[in-house]
């Protein structure tokens, strides 16, 4: 998932019973305003709207995380932050996006998946600190978004079809996946040569 897609998730988007995540929106920041700066809008393209299956490892993580979040709600009680969506329309009256607003009302609440312990929603900012640690203390130069490329490359190396990988990533064209997301390195290129060499041995024996 794209970074904005991940942090736009609400618990309504995650069907643990059928093990499916529905991707239908993205989150982005605007200039700081009185009520907040995070907005929900449509995905990058129509083709980006998709369903992703939840593997066993992720299923366990999400189950445990949801239970942990519920425990935090009990711990913080009235001090736990809650949010609603405010419609934002253009000058023609067409709905274009939603503003995420902190609110004490019990009605029309949205349950954001990724929040801080007290429920504070900070959009994509929530991964900034962990990745600073990754960069400066571990010496690994990568972004959260780069995990998409790792997913695509590993899946392809494990024998998955490029078309299936593209659909999971939300790409309409497989050329996009091939050009920008499949990573080639010296190890993989060497593996190609060795694989060909092994094939020659098979045919010459």
DSSP 84-153: EEEEEE-TTS-EEEEEEEE---SSS-B-BSS--TT----GGGGGHHHHHHHHHTS-----TTHHHHHHHH
User: Is the domain of 118 the same as that of 150?
Assistant: no
Give 66 or 137, the one with higher predicted confidence.
66
User: Is the domain of 153 the same as that of 111?
Assistant: no
User: Is the domain of 119 the same as that of 153?
Assistant: no
Q: Looking at residue 124, what is its pLDDT?
A: 92
Q: Does 20 map to a domain? A: yes
User: Is the domain of 17 the same as that of 102?
Assistant: yes
- Residue from 127, 159, 119 nearest 143 by CA: 127
Q: Does 132 map to a domain? A: no
Residue range 31-50: mean pLDDT, rounded: 79
User: Is the domain of 30 the same as that of 102?
Assistant: yes
For residue 82, what pLDDT band results from cuts at 50, 70 and 90?
very high
User: Is the domain of 37 the same as that of 90?
Assistant: yes
Query: 11 pLDDT exceeds 60?
Result: yes
User: Is the domain of 22 the same as that of 104?
Assistant: yes
- Residue from 119, 109, 113, 106 nearest 86 by CA: 109
Q: Who contacts 11 (Cβ-Cβ below 8 Å, separation ≥6)?
A: 66, 111, 113
Q: Looking at residue 23, what is its pLDDT?
A: 94
For residue 92, what pLDDT band results from cuts at 50, 70 and 90?
very high
User: Is the domain of 36 the same as that of 67?
Assistant: yes
For residue 21, what pLDDT band results from cuts at 50, 70 and 90?
very high
Residue range 139-148: mean pLDDT, rounded: 84
Looking at 75, 91, 123, which one is the last position of a domain? Answer: 123
For residue 33, what pLDDT band results from cuts at 50, 70 and 90?
low
Query: 27 pLDDT exceeds 80?
Result: yes
Q: Does 176 map to a domain? A: yes
User: Is the domain of 34 the same as that of 95?
Assistant: yes
DSSP H or E run through 154: helix 146-157
Give 110 or 189, the one with higher predicted confidence.
110
Structure-derived torsion over alpha carbons of residues 16, 22, 58, 147, reported in degrees to the nearest 10: -170
Residues 154 and 188: their CA atoms lie apart, in Å, by 11
Q: 52: domain CATH number?
A: 1.10.443.10
Give 166 or 34, the one with higher predicted confidence.
166
User: Is the domain of 18 the same as that of 79?
Assistant: yes
Q: Does 85 map to a domain? A: yes
Number of domains into which the chain is organized: 2
Q: Looking at residue 54, what is its pLDDT?
A: 93
Q: Looking at residue 44, what is its pLDDT?
A: 75
User: Is the domain of 189 the same as that of 116?
Assistant: no
Q: Does 129 map to a domain? A: no
Give 37 or 114, the one with higher predicted confidence.
114
Q: What pTM value is reported for the model?
A: 0.80
User: Is the domain of 85 the same as that of 155?
Assistant: no
What range defines the domain where residue 99 resides?
3-123
Residue range 79-102: mean pLDDT, rounded: 93
Q: Could you tell me what percent of the chain has a pLDDT over 70? A: 86
Q: Who contacts 27 (Cβ-Cβ below 8 Å, separation ≥6)?
A: 4, 7, 8, 38, 39, 40, 41, 100, 123, 124
């Amino acid at each position: 998932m794209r970074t904005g897609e991940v942090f736009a998730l609400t618990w309504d988007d995650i069907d643990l019973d059928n093990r499916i995540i529905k991707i239908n929106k993205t989150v982005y920041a605007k200039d700081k305003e009185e009520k907040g700066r995070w907005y929900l809008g449509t995905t990058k393209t129509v083709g980006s709207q998709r369903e992703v299956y939840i593997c066993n490892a992720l299923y366990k993580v999400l189950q445990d995380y949801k239970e942990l979040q519920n425990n935090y709600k009990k711990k913080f009680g009235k001090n736990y932050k809650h949010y609603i969506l405010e419609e934002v329309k253009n000058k023609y009256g067409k709905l274009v996006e939603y503003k995420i607003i902190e609110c004490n009302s019990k009605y029309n609440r949205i349950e954001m998946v990724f929040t801080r312990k007290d429920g504070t929603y900070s959009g994509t900012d929530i991964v900034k600190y962990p990745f600073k640690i990754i960069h400066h203390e571990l010496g690994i130069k990568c972004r959260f978004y780069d995990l998409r490329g790792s997913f695509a490359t590993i899946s392809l190396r494990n024998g998955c079809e490029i078309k299936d990988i593209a659909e999971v990533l939300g790409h309409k064209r497989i050329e996009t996946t091939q050009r920008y997301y499949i990573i080639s390195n010296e190890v993989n290129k060497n593996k190609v040569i060795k694989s060909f060499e092994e094939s020659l041995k098979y045919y010459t024996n």
